[in-house]
Amino acid sequence: QKEVEQNSGPLSVPEGAIASLNCTYSDRVSQSFFWYRQYSGKSPELIMSIYSNGDKEDGRFTAQLNKASQYVSLLIRDSQPSDSATYLCAVNKGYSSASKIIFGSGTRLSIRP
Amino acid sequence: EPEVTQTPSHQVTQMGQEVILRCVPISNHLYFYWYRQILGQKVEFLVSFYNNEISEKSEIFDDQFSVERPDGSNFTLKIRSTKLEDSAMYFCASSEGLGLAGYNEQFFGPGTRLTVL
């Protein structure tokens, strides 16, 4: 079983609509959860972090965490063509302050004009 | 806004040669990391570093790899004898390290594309 699972996509969403990206993780001890955006050939860019159950909003982005279901999601409202990228879900088990991040394989999002 | 920088952006080397990849983490960050991403695959952890010591390393990080903080600003990854399968994007990351364990956001540099011929 993969530690962090994401649907690879591509997920195609019309401009202006809501894009919904999902992720599940296998280890219940996981402490913190992150969404990174990665454009082709570029490095991961942190867009959201979430540590407790519920929703966290930042501009057009909302991250949702459900630890009981081991499920993390990212909603992007009013999708723009510039949102077209691969979105990486990442998990930190929190064993130490130097704990590694474990990445999923990413979901490719395409916003069609 | 402070950012992680990496040099070179692209490194081409012959199999068996040594390479050193350089990173300058964000200045007030205490924890440093190397990750790599083989083309078309996911980002994989290599090593974490704190207080001039390795904190954690993955199975990938074998005796061919080493890390060093040679001065107050640089953080380097050395591959002693490169193999074809070392071809990948190598990302340096850093985190502030002031929060609770596991709650530190990691910020990535732009990466070095390593091509081993």
What would the pLDDT profile of B37-86 be if each residue is shown by its tens digit? Answer: 999 999 999 999 999 999 999 999 999 999 999 888 899 999 999 999 99
pLDDT score of A30: 86
A99: number of Cβ within 10 Å: 25
Fill in the amino acid letter for A59.
Answer: G
pLDDT score of B101: 62
pLDDT score of B99: 67
pLDDT score of A22: 97
Percent of chain B with pLDDT over 90: 85
Contact of B66 with chain A, judged by CB distance below 8 Å, is answered with no
φ/ψ of residue A77, rounded to 5: -85, 155
Which chain B residue is nearest to residue A32, measuring alpha carbons? Answer: B103
One-letter-per-residue 3-state SS of chain A:
CCCEECCCCCEEEECCCCEEEEEEECCCCCCEEEEEEECCCCCCEEEEEECCCEEEEECCEEEEEECCCCEEEEEECCCCHHHCEEEEEEEECCCCCCCCEEECCCEEEEEEC
pLDDT score of B100: 67
pLDDT score of A96: 75
Indicate if the pLDDT at residue A109 is higher than 80.
Answer: yes
A interface test, pick of B104, B107, B113, B115 with most A CB neighbours within 10 Å:
B104
Q: Which residues of B touch A105 (CB under 8 A)?
A: 41-42
Residue-wise pLDDT for B82-114, tens only, equals 999 999 999 999 999 776 666 789 999 999 999
Q: Which residues of A50-79 are buried (b: 16+ CB within 10 A; e: fewer)?
A: bbeeeeeeeeebbbbbeeeebebbbbbeeb
